[in-house]
Amino acid sequence: MDTNTIFQHQGYELRCGARELDSGSFMPTLVVSKHVWPSRPRTIAVANEGHRNVDDAIAAAHAQGLAWVRDYG
C-alpha cells in the first residue's frame, strides 16, 4: 500500500509518500517537480530508517524535499 501527501513549497510540488515494506515498516518516497516549465518530476532518494508508521515516513520525505529545494531548487 502506498500513501501520498502533496505539499507546495517555493514554486515546487513535493509528493511525499510512504511505501509499506514486508517487515511492517514504511519506506519514505519523494518526487519533486517545479510548477513552471521545465516541470520534469525528479525522484529524490530518502534514507530508509525503517519508519514505524506512515506519518513518520512522510515527515522524513517532506524534510528531505525541503532540503532539496533549499540546496538545488
Q: What is the pTM of this model?
A: 0.91
The domain that holds 21 is classified in CATH as 3.30.160
Our count of domains for the chain comes to 1
Residue 26: predicted pLDDT:
94
Task: Please list the pLDDT of the chain residue by residue as tens digits (73 residues).
Answer: 678 999 999 999 999 999 998 888 999 999 999 999 888 999 999 988 789 999 999 999 999 999 999 999 8
| Cα–Cα distance list, 61 to 7, 36, 38, 53, 65 (Å) | 11, 22, 22, 13, 6
